[in-house]
Amino acid sequence: MLTMIAIVDYGMGNLKSVEKGFLKSGVDVKVTQLPSDIASAHGVVLPGVGAFKDCMANLGRLGLIAPILSSIACGKPFLGICLGLQMLFTESDEFGHCPGLNVFKGRVVRFAAAGLKVPHMGWNTVQFKNKPPIFDGIEDNSYFYFVHSYYVAPEDAEITAGMTGYGIDFTSMIWKDNVIATQFHPEKSQSAGLAILKNFGAFVREN
């Protein structure tokens, strides 16, 4: 049986670059807005670029919230990227209070250190706290590409898999069970990022 990985298309974000990153890594994916595709997929990828509130509204309008939550709950391999990480949390402070998917308890907050350039944009390192299997072969403190003004503040520190310094040390990667999510963009992070996408494909096939 062929393995199907669904990239969730909610009308916003960097879908083409994520799709191209997977294909370049030798992993077949399907960009889709259909709840049935997400429900039947063997793995799910939730990318994201844009405003938190608009992205959540689009997920709701397209009927995608239920199949995303069901996929996570049933143990399906799940990868969140950038805003796809942030939407997994309880709420965001972006443009006022906005509820998220509440898979993990915590808030999404804006960088606030004095003199800090926001957004945080460009290459930065990730220090592993708990290395997920899809990071096999990737060294600690490797560089990845970031573009964001907000970061996640989990209530449960145990889900933090990686930290990055930018004015403060913030959670740049989480991992719990079948869910792995990164604040950085693997699809824009050259060889290390493409290795993550390739490893995610293998993770899906094995599970």
| Catalytic center residues | 82, 185, 187
Tokens 């004015």, located at residue: 167
- Please state whether beta strands 98-99 and 104-110 pair in parallel, antiparallel, or not at all (unpaired): unpaired
162 token code pair? 């990686």
- Please state whether beta strands 78-81 and 43-46 pair in parallel, antiparallel, or not at all (unpaired): parallel
Closest CA to 142 of 155, 158, 131: 131
Reduce the DSSP state of residue 84 to 3 states and report it. Answer: helix
> For residue 137, which amino acid is it?
G
Phi and psi (nearest 5°) for 101?
A: -80, -20
Cα–Cα distance, 173 to 57 (Å, whole number): 24
